[in-house]
Structure 1
Amino acid sequence: MEFTLREENGFQYIEEGEGEVLLLLHGLMGALSNWEWVINECKHNYKVVIPMLPIYDMPLLNTGVKGLANFLNKFIKFKKFEKVTLLGNSLGGHVALIFTVHHQEKVKAMLLTGSSGLYENSFGGSFPKRENYQFIKEKVEFTFYDPATATKELVDDVFATVNDRGKVIKILAMAKSAIRHNMAKDLHKIKIPVSLVWGKNDKVTPPEVAEEFNELLPNSELTWIDHCGHAPMMEKPEEFIVILNKFLEKIKDK
């Protein structure tokens, strides 16, 4: 991915384009490159910003979804953004939800795809075979409908991460925090427009999770992408962009 990673005031982030702010939030095992298609498609009409979530840099006691939501608040204040449209995948969607509950005045709208916050079936509570490359490869493939989407580069990155003792401790702490912090009782407070874009074949946050989000969020719409798993913006980027653009057009004058 040929984008410049900026470093300012302790924040690392990508920023491309000009206009209204689209702020993209990656997942627990995700990377900035997960959003490559969205950056390339949207940077001509929007300011597209992706902060690197400090999953591995927070003190262990503060490693959790609330800590990431506080980080996001500090980042938005630092950048002096007045209103943002949040796009979150997996853990990034969970962070977007917590932030919005507490700072709704700073959020114009939100798009969630494969978001945690209600239920997820990811790596589970541990990495019992983290030194086994084939095991990790199968776990990464589980994220997608088409296993071929799990490129060797992607599997190599995950394998290196889960075999770093310091990182794996933080990952497990973050995953447990996400499970504990269920959003069901708070979702009614979120009144802004929310687009739910879900892979029909998502095994991590299955379709019934999307349906529950749609029931509990007062101003949401749900769009399915068929033959697609947990990360539609990676696996079905063309379809994802069409849905995103329709949503952005719909909220343009709000």
Structure 2
Amino acid sequence: MRFITKTEKKFSFIEAGEGPPLILLHGLMGGLSNFDNTVNFFSGKGYKVFVPVLPVYDLPVLNTNLTTIAKYVAKFIEQKITEPVTVIGNSMGGHIGLILTLARPELVKNLVLTGSSGLYERTFGDSFPRKSDKEYIRKKTEEVFYDPSVATTELVDEVFSVVNDRMKGIKTVMLARSAIKHNMLNDLPKITTPVCLIWGKEDNVTPPAVAIDMDKFLPNSDLYWIEECGHAAMMEKPDEFNEILYKWLQKIENNKVGV
């Protein structure tokens, strides 16, 4: 099911279901549709799911960085959701979740990371060579996944459109650089919020070593692997991703009840 994007005040977002709030944060080259299966699953399991459109291309050039986007998400939680949330982030969205959790821990009840940047990652680099070559862009998009067929024509067209828009291309590179500069290795031990790491075993953007290091330095984390899966587990293996996350959330809630 495709969901209708709402606009209220300065926020655009998808909203579905009723219950404890989950907020899903997409990656740099991602979009709301990346989480269609996750929204369907959890809105039918007694959760209220929000997917905000992150202002990746809307910020002034001088403020195009991950910290500014994390502040935007904090305002969305405060003004729209009005209670602590479970944050679920893929790639750059996970990095934003880490920054948010560190800066505003009172807003984040649980943090879920899948293919998250924050330590190190492979990116397009500082430019987009052969950006007008759609087959090149298709190949680079397919590399995100273990199964290249997940890179649909629609997805490739979206990436192609971004890299061939001059200002979007500039801001994409700026945010990629911001992610690399904002290394969080020394910050991870300060994050005591429960963290669930769900990682594709064949992720070649944020390789498995990233997940192992995050699990090592986060004080309160659980790490789960998905076989034959790349950088965006919620797209490539949505059923496994949803089941792992649902069971983990149940476990966390049961532990809190037992305290």
The answer, yes or no, to whether TM exceeds 0.5 is yes
Is this contact kept in 1: 2:21–2:86, CA < 8 A? yes
Report SS of the residue matched to 1:188. helix
Q: Which amino acid aligns with 1:33?
A: S
Structure 1 position 56 matched with structure 2 position 61: no
Q: Which amino acid aligns with 2:226?
A: I
Q: What is residue 38 of structure 1 aligned with on the other side?
A: 38
Q: Which moved more, 1:54-63 or 1:73-82?
A: 73-82
Deviations 1:178-212 (A, max 9, x none): 00000111111111111100000000000000000
Q: What is residue 189 of structure 1 aligned with on the other side?
A: 190
Cα root mean square deviation, aligned: 0.9
Q: What is residue 206 of structure 1 aligned with on the other side?
A: 207
Q: What is residue 24 of structure 1 aligned with on the other side?
A: 24
1:81 to partner: Cα distance: 2.1
Take 1:249 and 1:125, find their aligned partners in 2: how far apart are those partners?
A: 42
Report SS of the residue matched to 1:170. helix
Q: Map 1:83-232; keep pairs closer than 5 Å.
A: 83-232=84-233
Deviations 1:43-88 (A, max 9, x none): 0210000000000000000001001111111111111421100000
Is this contact kept in 1: 2:21–2:81, CA < 8 A? no
Q: Percent identity between the aligned chains?
A: 54
Report SS of the residue matched to 1:222. strand
Q: What is residue 11 of structure 1 aligned with on the other side?
A: 11
Take 1:2 and 1:171, find their aligned partners in 2: how far apart are those partners?
A: 26
1:252 to partner: Cα distance: 1.8
1:117 to partner: Cα distance: 0.4
1:161 to partner: Cα distance: 1.0
Runs of 4+ in 1 over 3 A off after TM superposition: none
Deviations 1:105-129 (A, max 9, x none): 1111111000000000021221011
Report SS of the residue matched to 1:127. coil
Take 1:80 and 1:228, find their aligned partners in 2: how far apart are those partners?
A: 32
| Alignment coverage as a number of residue pairs | 254
1:176 to partner: Cα distance: 0.5
1:166 to partner: Cα distance: 1.2
Q: Which amino acid aligns with 2:39?
A: I
Question: What is the TM-score with the length of structure 1 in the denominator?
Answer: 0.98
